[in-house]
Structure 1
Amino acid sequence: MRFFERQLLTLCTAALLAAAPAPALAAGAEEDAKTLFARGRELRGAGQCEQAIIAFRSALEIYPEGLGALRNIAECEEALGLYASARRDWWDLRRAALQSTEAKYAGWSEDAELRYRALGSKVGTLALKVQGAEGRQVRVALDGKPLDPRLLGIDLERDLGVHTIELFYGGAAPLTERIELTPGARRVVALTVPPPIAARDAPAAPSAPAPVPSSSGARTGGYIALGVGGAGAIATVVALAVRAGAVSAVEEGCSPAGDGAYVCPPSLQGDYDTGRTASTLAGVFAGVGLVGIGAGVTLLLLSPPSPASAAQGAPAARGALRSAELSLAPWPGGLGSRLRVRF
């Protein structure tokens, strides 16, 4: 039953308030406003304008028709150096006095306009601009209060002193700037939205490594040429050995005929022909060997080191082929070949 009793009491109270005559309610509000107004006058007389403004504001909220509270607010703000706030309240007082039918407020609109214009040279103005916010949700706060986006770029009158501007753009912390307004100064603050993190902190694409001359083809060709040259050298040695054997047989069984010629019996004609053929082949194989080894050594000496060898440093360089030499020299019974390689 308690719940229904409370509901009934609430309904009755609402009905009584609705039935109460409006003049009675207005009279009560006016009396409360007068009490607060008197408290504000005491504080102002004691030099405590900041506390007095609070009392006057409360009185004005309770009874907006009491324009004396608004006038005292404007005068206190002017005394505190809050010229921009005072100008706004003087202009509000001018408009309210023009609308009022109370005889006691006659001439107040003219007084308010004079004070409004007199403070024009003392206020500072501030214009805020936002750059780089295309397609992004941003929010600007001035002295801790959100700023209507429609006011961006417009000169705003603000009280003298330090003001804090914050730009909220979705980052971990807002961009913050503090500026100081002096009498008659006009400040323009441009806030630049940082680029998105993905575009700002993305790692740079790795640059392509400098082209390294390929050494595998030249070195492979060098080794092949050395192999051919080595095979030619071996074939030369074999041909020279065959020739030596044939020459020995011809010298033992044939008679010299002068000018390096021999008179041989028919049975030794084959050895004689073999010796001549072997001598010819030895010259051919020796040429092939010289050309192959020379080309192979040249390719190996001119080819750049491999990347692995360059990274490892000196050990690989010390093992590289430096020079090679193939020479033919007369040996007993024919030609001999000699291969010298330096590392």
Structure 2
Amino acid sequence: MLLRRCVPFAAALFLLLPTGDALAQSDQDRAAARSLATQGAESFTSGRFEEAIDLLGRAEALVHAPTHLLLIARAQVRLGRLVAAKETYLRIVREELPPTAPSPFKRAQQDAREELAAIEPRIASLRIALEGAAGRKIGVKLDGQPVADALLGVHRPIDPGNHVVTVVPPGLAPIEQGVTIGDGERKELKIPVPEGPAVVPPPGGSVEGQGTWGGGQAEVPPVAPPGTPERKTNAAMLGGGIAATALGLGGVVVGSVFLAKSSGTQKEANDLSASRGCESQGSAGAECGPAIRAQITSLDADAASQQTIGAAGLIGGGVLLAGGVTLLVLELTSKPEPSSSAWIAPYVTPTGLGVRGAF
């Protein structure tokens, strides 16, 4: 029935309301909106509902028309997005049309009222209840989208179908729970939340300049004494070594390719010379004319150029490769240097994580 109702909209999807806002639109905007609306109607009738929503939304952004919104709402219904469709229908129903509004606009508003009444009983309701939260700040997502704290513990409208609720307690692994809701069903989902680790101060109380923080209870790891040798990476040497090695390998590969190519080009020149009787510059066979000699000369020159490039690539690449490998070996085999008296480092234990340091 909805498809049959949409067919007339393809011809009258875009009619301007005689208001100041509509009249303020440019001819280009009106023409573009009309084209987008027509394309959106065609996408809807072809069952490409996502595409229809996008095209009709673009048309609506250029020039407002209730007919745009009606097809958007119908596409949302076809995709099972009843909550979004209800809001779109409400926009149409609550709009005050002037007495001079085009008849397709008035008919769109009437259709919106009827279709809104049909989908409202199908919208489901879900209450997400966290057990054991104890006032903690716990992140909750519904189908990957964050859920506002105001919506926790109360019933909220939701589309029928399959959904995934993700709870992220601080300091603990996320908890996922699936739920399936039918048309108009009212369901409550209770998710137990385990207690997270609590922060325990280090033995002897707080020490200025040295301490731990984390998401909960954690054993205080032993503090490394100042002066303990720690290996420090020389970023410049390591980066230079990697870059030189990569460039060197590239040069060797390019050089090898050009040398192989020069060998093939020279063989082509020799074969052509032998087949046409051009054995030397001073003698010529019956088939060795000026054009053939010019071609042989060109091939010889190409082979020489390729050989030069190949040799340069091999030599340059080899030098860069050797230099890069040398830098990497020197950096990776360098001895650790004693650290200064001030230090800081992260740590992870089976029961928590944090940062330790001394200043």
With normalisation by structure 1, the TM-score equals 0.46
Query: Max radius of gyration: which structure?
Result: 1
Q: Flag the structure with more relative contact order, 1 or 2, with Cα contacts below 8 A and sequence separation at least 6.
A: 2
With normalisation by structure 2, the TM-score equals 0.44
